[in-house]
Chains A and B, each alone.
Chain A
């Protein structure tokens, strides 16, 4: 564990995990569109932002845990890959590319990624303090 870095499989797994969150939330929105239509749109948008942040954060955290250095770079790589994959998903699902969604994914996934990298580094420091 001295000088380990995530490999391509880890990055891809992280990107797919982040898009899994997004895909499940989109599925929920589509399946429950009638009851959810009674809720205010702003609330749904806010929940969507939180879920995208969570998606970016969880995937970046899990991949950054495998790194022994450069946590921010690793988490930003995961976020960028997740964003690229999310664009592919949007293009395959929507009839026309939605610029708003693409920008939202870009911001939320990267913000979540930075937070994920931070928490992974905090965890590493704590563990190294416990087991010097």
Chain B
């Protein structure tokens, strides 16, 4: 990946794309939103290219105002996910992660409950 300003022509390799996809999947998984994300992404997958272009036009120019790093990351994110095959990779990765989560032994869940550990998005809501 070329380290440059956000408006410079970034050359993304396969590994860079894989890294972005994996990181996105991990963030979604950390918040316990696998199923919701699969549901949404499966539905809007045909609009990936249009969404990417709209994001570049409407969001991308404003991100460097927050921080230059965010501008670059946003640009990379939009470039990666405007390709439908990358969206499909993300979907399959999320499905794998969700299946792994379901396969977790019951004892782990019981231990979590005993220690009053909240998992996923429930951590954000105090009364749950």
Hey, which bits of chain A sit against chain B, CB under 8 A? 69-73, 117-118, 121-122, 125-126, 128-130, 132
Q: Does B43 contact A (CB under 8 A)?
A: yes
> How far in angstroms is the closest Cβ of chain A from B69?
33
Specify which chain A residues have a CB less than 8 angstroms from the CB of B34 in the assembled complex: 125
Within 8 A of A (CB), among B29-63: 34-36, 38-40, 42-43
Q: Are B42 and A125 in contact (CB under 8 A)?
A: no
User: Which residue from chain A places its CB closest to the CB of B101 in the assembled complex?
Assistant: A129
CA distance A126 to B41 in the complex (A): 19
Residue of A nearest to B41 (CB): A72
Residues of chain A lying within 8 A (CB to CB) of residue B26: none
Residue of B nearest to A132 (CB): B99
Distance in angstroms from A56 CB to nearest chain B CB is 16
Given contacts A121-B35, A122-B35, contact A72 B102 (CB under 8 A): no
Q: Are A72 and B40 in contact (CB under 8 A)?
A: yes
Contacts of B70 in A (CB 8 A): none
User: DSSP majority for the A interface?
Assistant: helix
CA of A103 to CA of B99, assembled, Å: 38
Is B98 on the interface with A (CB-CB < 8 A)?
yes
Give chain B's interface residues, CB within 8 Å of chain A.
Answer: 34-36, 38-40, 42-43, 95, 98-103
Residue of A with least CB distance to B43 = A72
Q: Do A125 and B43 have beta carbons less than 8 Å apart?
A: no
Residue numbers in B under 8 Å from A122 (CB-CB):
35
A125 close to B102 (CB less than 8 A):
yes
Please give the distance in Å from B46's CB to the nearest CB on chain A. 10
Chain A positions within 8 Å of B35 at CB level: 118, 121-122, 125
A71 interface neighbour in B42, B99, B100, Cβ under 8 Å? B42
Contacts of B43 in A (CB 8 A): 70, 72-73
Residue of B nearest to A69 (CB): B42
B48 nearest CB across to chain A (Å)? 14
In the assembled complex, the Cα of A132 lies from the Cα of B98 at a distance in Å of 12
* Alpha-carbon distance between A78 and B120 when the two chains are bound, in angstroms: 30
